[in-house]
Amino acid sequence: MLIGAIIAGIVFGLYYTLVGLGLNLVFGVMRIVNLAHGDFLMLGGIAAWWLFTTLGLHPLASAGLVIVAFVLVGLPLYYLVVPRLLRSRDSEMLSLILFFGLSQMIEAVTTIGLGSTERSLPPRLLGVGPIILFGTRLPKAWIFSAAASAIAVLLVYLYLYRTRLGTLTRAVMVSRDEALATGIDVNFVSAVAFGISIALAGVAGVFAPFILGSITPNMGVAINITAFAVIVVGTLGNPLGTLLGGIIYGVSLMLMQTYLSSWANLLPNLLLIAVLLVRPEGILGRRVRRA
């Protein structure tokens, strides 16, 4: 049972890495918190559900469409709100308020438009029957979602570490002031990072029905808390730390569900409190905030 929980935890952890990655990328580059991240994830799930029920589109095709569409939404959203936000005196704090408002708006509009019912997609879309990993039987849909997440994480890694724009993005993460002084077009770099972040949330949403079971318009808040726990555990502002945070979160979640299932929903909060008490700078421990 222990091994099974750990294996399932790693599979879930890859998915949770995807959930947190975009949030952390935006925090790393812009030092703002996008509290509407979970709502964009929800919208990605709604999009996948709608594309399947009306057009019969496979989730993998939906994922491709969602990436394109969400980048196209993310870029104008960036230019509309973020540069103004960054000029303010306390952009980190104000970002919480601004994106909380956006989150509420998205949730309300979605509820008004579609109702608050749970929506799901048939798991057989991602393969029938279990896969056996080290003696543990896991649904194919989980493995598929985890693999898709791993690919997305890998692509972000390649972007950050193997492309010129990615190197500039990391330079902005290291020091925004030095980046400006070096003549990096910080605004453009940030806009691209924001677009990628929204697209990552959308892709995570496409696979949400398979991992989380269903999607509802009000799921954003809970997703935000989970995503926040993942990136705080992994280290704020360090996108690759997200992988560590995601795996720790996934494994802990599965252990909780196996041995203490009624307490499992408490986990993100417990992890947040534990990390903030013991190692507030995150496990990879680079201090990114000026207190």
Name the site residues for another protein (rule: CB under 8 A).
Answer: 164, 167-168, 170-171, 173-175, 177-185, 286
Amino acid at 186: V
d(CA 238, CA 231): 8
Could you give the residue ranges of the DSSP H alpha helices within the chain?
A: 2-30, 37-55, 59-87, 91-114, 140-162, 164-174, 176-182, 186-212, 220-234, 241-259, 267-278
- Specify the DSSP element, H or E, that contains 130: strand 130-133
Amino acid at 113: G
Residue 181: CB minimum distance to another protein, A: 4
Between residues 116 and 167, which has the closer beta carbon with respect to another protein? 167
Between residues 224 and 235, which has the closer beta carbon with respect to another protein? 235
Amino acid at 94: L
Determine phi and psi for 253, rounding to 5 degrees: -60, -45
DSSP 197-228: HHHHHHHHHHHHHHHHS-B-GGGHHHHHHHHH
DSSP 233-267: HH-TT-TTHHHHHHHHHHHHHHHHHHH-GGGGGGH
Residue 98: CB minimum distance to another protein, A: 24
Between residues 46 and 172, which has the closer beta carbon with respect to another protein? 172
Residue 183: CB minimum distance to another protein, A: 3
Residue 69: CB minimum distance to another protein, A: 30
Residue 7: CB minimum distance to another protein, A: 34
Residue 29: CB minimum distance to another protein, A: 13
Between residues 170 and 279, which has the closer beta carbon with respect to another protein? 170
Between residues 179 and 255, which has the closer beta carbon with respect to another protein? 179
Between residues 118 and 185, which has the closer beta carbon with respect to another protein? 185
